Amino acid sequence: MPIDYSFKARIEAALNNQGIRNALGKFGKDFPISRAKVYEGIDFEALRKEVAKVKSNGAAKFEQLADQFEKNLTNRGAKVHRAETGADVYQILRDIAKARNAKKVVKSKSMASEEIHLNKHVEDQLEMIETDLGEWIIQQINEKPSHMVMPAIHLSKEKCADVFSDALGYRVEVDIPLMVKLARKNLRQEFLTADIGISGCNIAVAETGTMCIFTNEGNARLTASLPPVHVILLGYEKLVEKFEDVGPIAKALAKSATAQPITSYVTMISGPTQTLDANGNVVDKELHVILLDNGRRKLLTDPVFKEAGQCIRCGSCINVCPVYQLLSGHVYGHIYPGGIGVILTTFFDGFEAVEKIQDLCISCGRCRDFCPGKIDIPNLILEVRRRVRQQIPLPGMQNLIVGSLLPKKGLFQFGLRQASWATSMFASEGKDGKKYVRNLPFGFGRLADWRSLPAFPAKPFRERIKSIKQNPVNKKGKIAFFGGCVIDYAYPEIGESLVRLANKLGVEVEYPEQSCCGAPAFYMGRQDVTATIAKQNLDNFAKDEYQYIVTACPTCTEVLKENWIHVLQNDPAAKAKAEKVSAKAIDAIKLIHNLTKGDQAAEKEVAALSEVACPNKVKVTYHDSCHLNRSLGIKAEPREVIKDIKNVEFVEMVDSDVCCGFGGSYSIKLREISKVMLEGKLKNIEETGADIVCADCPGCIMQLRGGLDNKKSNIRALHTLELLDGKF
């Protein structure tokens, strides 16, 4: 399997950079708290609906709005330029400068200029001076921003002091206020003597020709006011239709970016103004506006990716990304990091540019919860992945497994069965009595040396169910159980617990003939394979006799509820069946909650359930599985069910909803990252002092159990169904 060592080396280097890890780790912990505080009393869901509305409207009509915007600004005396590529921008700027014999340019922050590497391409003609403090610092050492809002967040104050010392020619103390003061003093002279000011802009209003710039330092105001020429560089995605559309964006931008109510300065420029010349005379300024395409037209007209046009570049998706927090922005290799960065880079730099980095997304969905533009970022990344895989196939072995083995039901199941005897050779018992594989030969050692793998039992669940004698109390109905590969072949005991619990609640369980749900293929960009697999399952599940189709793996639940319909959209007959399955699909914990806490609850049965479970006092904490919590919206239910069990003392862990690092094949492909995410999760679990950590996803259980076994911890990881079934 070809491995891109430069990509892997960048990951290794970032993971070993303790300074960045500490800084971003702390930021990652602080940000959600301060952000929540600044949004207090504001209905975020309503606000982001408004933002999404004005931005998607802008995206839908961008050509028309661009014309209107240009016309308005031209009428007001500004010069509007259109640039298809970065090269066009270089030329436009060169011509503007040449006409006035301009030499010195002060720049306020513009990500669009970073994206096209503007400075590098014009510095033979122009002295380009970054004036945003973070941008100025990284400009001195020739680095790229590692974050859209905080470009130098990867640098320590010691490093910054070195940068100042080198730039100013004398030793500058490691003193942040002093450095800020020096920046003010030195850059002030540049502002006063610059020939041109360049800035970006956050919002462009078509109906008035207004450009809004949000800054804290005040450099954009000076850039816009002092030099005789102001050049504003902006992408088409900044356009909104109406002046009032500024409202919701302004309300969300700083709150989501830096947890501030608003930036210190909001500047609205709707045409050229005046400045003072060297003699103090008031003179008219030149205002040039450059509308940049560089892939944006393609993005905004794409039926799927136009959604990314709702981005207001706050960076909150990056701030909360558990992978970004470990790696910082430079691993992504281009200007825009994190999830939204992958999407933008796809259009600005092409599919080749994101082939590797799109894999960094673990699909935990945390960013989606925070996005003020209501963009389903993980879903768009899956679409990037799908399209990448159409152009650049998966590496050989992976492609063989996903493309050829997975859709061949018999062969695939045969393979999984072989895992039993294959793993049995290396398996031994752990502290919790389960069998684990800790050492693997032939260079596979690194798969299990940080997280023990489960030994596959000899008999999968599909065999075991045949010998379970079901005796539902006061039988209410029948459900179909969709086991999923992990429960079927690695953890059949979770399935057995489900059957016993269902029986206690008056429900009979059937296990129709079934295959994989297709999630692995879906998440690796092979939705065509998922469609094939879905069709293998549909007939056996789309039956009227089942009240519910139950899974105990939220990833499977999500696939049954949503993805099968999606991948079968061009096959009406199959889609109709998928819709039938979708309507009945439910996660086991949700069903148990319905049966024990909902209208259907029968007291006696509930009591039976909670009494048996726990004979002795035990402390339990809960890990929210990403797909259960975020995709299915199930967060309170497992807690309520667990808290009801006698003798259980429930305790919350810090960041219970942050991904454990499993992510299916992610933990094999990018095990370096998965490992560190697991370490963080285990630390949070240990700090609770709990005896047991519960989760409702067998993937999370595999990750948590493997990590706990590796650490020889006394803490046990259980599927909530096992806890309810008293199996510990």
Partner 1 sequence: MNGQVIDWRPYLPKSAGKEELYEQFKQKAEALTVKVIRVSTKEEAEKAIVEVMKEFNVKKAAAAPLTLVNSQVIKEEAKKEGIDLGLEQDKDWIEQSDFGISEFDIGIAELGTVVQDAQSIHERLVSMLPPTHLAIIETKTIVDTFADSLQIIQKAYNGNPPHYIAYVTGPSKTADIERVLTIGVHGPSKVIYVCIG
Which residues form the interface with partner 1 (CB under 8 A)?
Answer: 23, 27, 76-77, 131-134, 137, 150-153, 155-157, 160, 176-177, 179-181, 183-184, 187-188, 191-192, 207-208, 210, 216-219, 221-222, 224-225, 243-244, 246-247, 250-251, 258, 261-276, 280, 282, 284
Cβ closest to partner 1, residue 86 vs residue 315: 315
Q: Which is nearer to partner 1, 172 or 589 (CB)?
A: 172
User: Could you give the CA distance from residue 572 to residue 487 in angstroms, rounded to a whole number?
Assistant: 31
Burial 583-612 (b: 16+ CB within 10 A, else e): ebbbbbbbbbbbbbeeeeeeeebbeebbeb
Q: Show the tokens assigned to 20.
A: 């960045």
Which of 133/362 has CB closer to partner 1?
133
Min. distance of Cβ 114 from partner 1 in angstroms?
A: 15
How many Å apart are CA 362 and CA 357, to the nearest integer? Answer: 11
Least gap, CB of 227 to partner 1 (angstroms): 12
CB of 223 to partner 1, least distance (A): 9
Q: How far apart are CA 95 and CA 79, in angstroms?
A: 13
For partner 1, which is the closer residue by CB, 276 or 392? Answer: 276
Shortest spacing between CB 188 and partner 1, in angstroms? 7
In the complex, least distance from residue 291 CB atom to partner 1, rounded to whole angstroms: 19
Q: How far is the CB of 672 from partner 1 (least distance, A)?
A: 26
> Least Å distance between CB 159 and partner 1?
9
Q: Which of 188, 240, 186 is nearest to 212 (CA)?
A: 240
| DSSP notation for 439-498 | --STT-GGGTSSSPEEPPPSS-HHHHHHH-----TT--EEEEEE--HIIIII-HHHHHHH
Residue 172 sits at φ, ψ, to 5 deg, of -105, 130
The CA distance from 119 to 660, in Å, is 41
For partner 1, give the closer residue by CB, 235 or 272. Answer: 272
In the complex, what is the shortest distance from the CB of residue 338 to partner 1, in angstroms, rounded to a whole number? 17
What strands, in cross-sheet order, belong to the sheet with 196-199?
79-83, 286-292, 229-235, 196-199, 104-107, 127-130
CA distances from 702 to 118, 277, 279 (A): 48, 70, 74
168-184: burial string, b at 16+ Cβ within 10 Å, e else: eeeebeeeeeebeeebe
Q: Nearest distance from residue 119's CB to partner 1, in Å?
A: 18
Closer residue to partner 1, CB minimum distance, 193 or 418:
193
Report CA-CA distances (Å) from 627 to 115, 194, 365, 488, 565: 33, 53, 8, 19, 17
Contact 707, 451 (CB under 8 A): yes
Name which of 250 and 717 has its Cβ closer to partner 1: 250
Q: How far is the CB of 134 from partner 1 (least distance, A)?
A: 4
Residue whose CB is less far from partner 1, 172 or 626: 172
Which residues are CB-contacts of 248 (< 8 A; sequence separation ≥ 6)?
A: 47, 50, 51, 53, 54
Taking the C-alpha atoms of residue 535 and residue 564, their distance in angstroms, rounded to an integer, is 9
Contact 270, 209 (CB under 8 A): yes
Smaller CB separation from partner 1, 273 or 391: 273
Residue closer to partner 1, measured from CB, 370 or 662: 370
**Does the CA dihedral 459-463-464-467 come out positive or negative?**
negative
Name which of 17 and 225 has its Cβ closer to partner 1: 225
DSSP secondary-structure letter at 227?
Answer: S
- For the bound state, the minimum distance from the C-beta of residue 128 to partner 1, rounded and expressed in Å, comes to 17
